[in-house]
Amino acid sequence: MTELEQNTRIQLSLAHAGQTLDFSPLTASPAREVAIDIATAFHLAPTSVKLIIRGKKINLGEASVETVGEMIPGPGDTSVIKALVVGTKAQALDALKAEEDLRNKKHAAYLHHQQYAAAARPTRRGIHTFGGGGTADPADYRFHHLEPFPKTVPFYERRQAMLQRLAEDLAVRDVMKRHKFAVGVLTELHPVLHTNHSTGEKLLGLNTNAGEKVSLRLLTDDLDGLRSYNDVRRVLLHELTHNVFGGHGNDFKELNSQLNKEVAAFESSPDFEPWDPPTSHDRSKEEHRLNEEEAERVWDRLQFGQEDLLDERRERMRIAAEERARRTQSRPL
């Protein structure tokens, strides 16, 4: 290519979504760089930029080493080439990528769940029983194995730390020894499965075989973070109650309420020291103390097969109340 050809420009008149732009790139300019300039001007994703010139589609965004002069035909009878710009808005592409990433994360969690659900876990004799029918060694009244979802699921270290914190929670350990509770595996509940798709309500916890395995939903529904520790711990106490009672009758409610009260009383003790690993921030005792009245209200709202997605239920009640108030205000006097 001669120096004259390198300094030659192509006169383009670009149109996209009602906007027009006069653009004059050098014929020797890499097509991919020109695609970036056009994408910036029209807020498009660079790889999606295409030009339609006289019925021919030219994919600038996927060009490798071609120059503009090699990809765009000559102007013919006119010095200005009119081109229609086609492409995907950058914001829409980001949303699609985020949706795909979320789908992949959920799929990875699903595969992990399927793998471990199919595998039989041998447990020690009596590990999930209560009282005289169970193990006699006080050291066995604990969580024998912690099993977070793999690192392909978001927030692996935080999820692992929460399971560890639950297992080492002094108030929970006190309850387990007091009532002779033992759990074979403490793990996570799949963030997508165990959902009533007609109502949107999600299972927050699951006790398998009266203590063989307790699964807790740690991740938020959008996989963008973890649920609060105290909320997860309340669900854990609910599931520990299922070591004794399978249903949700009065006996279950009384024991569940008692467990919450015992945790609150333990953390109100002057000798109580909150669980605080070296890597965590300082936490006050108040942050770890369960509100006893709230605990009593919680068990009454738990329902078998739903296990109380209370935050979602409160939000729906709030929206319904606001809607009723608006209708009341709009009625003529």
Q: Are 50 and 14 in contact (CB under 8 A)?
A: no
Task: State the DSSP H helix or E strand holding residue 3, giving kind and residue range, or none if neither.
Answer: helix 3-6
- What are the tokens at 63? 């060009």
Kindly state the DSSP code that residue 183 receives in the 8-state scheme: B
Of 69, 74, 71, the residue nearest 60 (C-alpha): 71
- What are the tokens at 219? 């991740």
Of 236, 241, 233, the residue nearest 257 (C-alpha): 241
109: helix, strand or coil: helix
Exposed, middle or buried by CB within 10 Å (0-12, 13-18, 19+), for 74?
Answer: exposed
DSSP for 126-137 reads TTT--GGGS---
Kindly give, in sequence order, each residue whose CB lies less than 8 Å from that of residue 294, ignoring residues fewer than 6 positions away. Answer: none
Exposed, middle or buried by CB within 10 Å (0-12, 13-18, 19+), for 318?
Answer: exposed
Q: Which of 188, 201, 239, 262 is catalytic?
A: 239
Does residue 212 carry a catalytic annotation?
Answer: no
Of 275, 126, 312, the residue nearest 212 (C-alpha): 126
Dist CA 144 CA 132 (whole Å): 19
Of 150, 161, 147, 154, the residue nearest 278 (C-alpha): 161
Starting at the edge strand found earlier in the chain, the sheet holding 213-216 runs: 146-147, 185-188, 213-216, 205-208
Query: Which residue numbers are catalytic?
Result: 239
